[in-house]
Amino acid sequence: MVKGLCILGATGSIGVSTLDVVARHPDRYRVIALTGHRRIEALYRQCLQHRPRYAVVAERRDADDLQRRLREAGVKTEVLAGSDALAAVATLDEVDYVMAAIVGAAGLLPTLAAARAGKRILLANKEALVISGPLFMEAVRGAEAELLPIDSEHNAIFQCMPAGYRAGNPPAGVRRILLTASGGPFLDTPIDQLEGVTPEQAVAHPKWDMGRKISVDSATMMNKGLEVIEASLLFDLPPERIQVVIHPQSVIHSLVDYDDGSVLAELGNPDMRIPIAYGLAWPERIASGVDPLDLFEVARLDFRPPDLERFPCLKLAFEAARSGGTAPALLNAANEVAVAAFLVGRIPFTGIAATIARTLDAIPAGAAVDLDSVLAADARARAYASDLIAAAR
């Protein structure tokens, strides 16, 4: 049976890789909706190739322009605009699977809507889960939605879980999770030189092809910190049972340590099409287009513990994970503001962690009783972090 697919964030790296996998299996998947925020030209080309029923952009003016161009090209795609349209296309009856790949907090509401609609959610936007935490997992369980993690690490963990495992439940017989990290571009850079690194250096990830924001998060290891919070929720384990392991080759994507002493690992070339194909086809497996792993070429696998002096963002994330409530939302919001400021040269690289730490010190975490309380915490942290950055200039 052909499955209908909505891709939230189609023009980003995850969305592009998803369409690559889907194009290899036209008998299994049909693209129903694509969203592209303000990347109109890229979305236009995707619509020409995949002919979705709907496309969504941020602004009405861009929607009208894209609609005109598609009509002139003979493409019948209907173009919508605004945040409400994101949730609308993610909950369409003809949509079976939703790839949640919008970066940052903007992806929360449509992803949550998809969960409440009982869709299979391919979760590539970790912020949606980090921000809303148990609220998101309650929505998944309440609507009996299927949640498949797409982050390479969480997807690897999911693959190593006991047969029949469903996300959000405590895994039987599991002692701990070993979450691997490449260490990013500054793994061996002298700590006293980190303040002077440039945005161009920070986004030059040694292994993965990612967007600018996620690449900076990898360089600070906030990306891994958010993944710790995500893993704690996805696999119902406390942060104390999650260990971060630096693995520069990025061949082992994560491991699961069992009570009997067995450790299961998922290995593969560093290509996001592997977890995407797994999420699309689960519990089956389909071709992803990725070359087989050549262990002789890899030759060696190295591991080391993370240096929390070098990566203070990782320490802050563990603290937020232990605090719970709205602490992860405060952490994520301050990080998004700080990373955006760094990318335009308003603060130094080391100012990212400093901004987050000061924001968390100033704003106490509360209970995440509902979505309004989470969004209020998010807004408060953004305002405070923005004020900090403005005052420092």
- What 3 state SS string does 239-266 have? HHHEEEEECCCCCEEEEEEECCCCEEEE
Considering the domain 324-393, what is its CATH architecture? Orthogonal Bundle (1.10)
With beta carbons less than 8 A apart as the criterion, state whether 10 and 43 touch: yes
Amino acid at 33: A
Amino acid at 260: D
For residue 204, the model assigns a pLDDT of: 83
For residue 238, the model assigns a pLDDT of: 96
Average pLDDT rounded to a whole number, residues 199-214: 79
Tokens representing 11?
């023009």
**pLDDT (tens digit per residue) in 52-68:** 999 999 999 999 999 99
- Write out the DSSP string of 35-77: EEET-HHHHHHHHHHH--SEEEES-HHHHHHHHHHHHHTT--P
Is the preceding omega at residue 185 within 30 degrees of 0, hence cis? no
Average pLDDT rounded to a whole number, residues 201-209: 76
Evaluate if residue 104 carries a pLDDT over 80: no
The residues that bridge with 246 in the sheet, in sequence order, are: 181, 304
Reference 184, options 315, 301, 314; nearest CA is 314
| Average pLDDT taken over every residue of the chain | 95
Tokens representing 197?
């690194």
Q: Tokens 């939230």 sit at which residue?
A: 8
**pLDDT (tens digit per residue) in 236-248:** 999 999 999 999 9
Tell me 3's DSSP state: E
For residue 208, the model assigns a pLDDT of: 60
d(CA 143, CA 151): 23
Tokens representing 329?
């939302």
Considering the domain 3-149, what is its CATH architecture? 3-Layer(aba) Sandwich (3.40)
Q: Which residues contact 20 (CB under 8 A, 6 or more apart)?
A: 273, 289
Parts of the chain belonging to CATH 3.40.50.720: 3-149
With beta carbons less than 8 A apart as the criterion, state whether 1 and 58 touch: no
**pLDDT (tens digit per residue) in 286-343:** 999 999 999 999 999 999 999 999 999 999 999 999 999 999 999 999 999 999 999 9
The residues that bridge with 97 in the sheet, in sequence order, are: 5, 120
d(CA 334, CA 92): 33
Q: Is 110 strand, coil or helix?
A: helix
CA distances from 96 to 29, 31, 50, 265 (A): 10, 10, 17, 30
Parts of the chain belonging to CATH 1.10.1740.10: 324-393
CA atoms within 13 A on the CB side of 368: 24
**pLDDT (tens digit per residue) in 214-238:** 899 999 999 999 999 999 999 999 9
Evaluate if residue 207 carries a pLDDT over 70: no
Burial of 163 (C-beta count, 10 Å sphere; 0-12/13-18/19+): exposed
d(CA 52, CA 34): 7
Evaluate if residue 261 carries a pLDDT over 70: yes
Q: Tokens 């990373």 sit at which residue?
A: 339
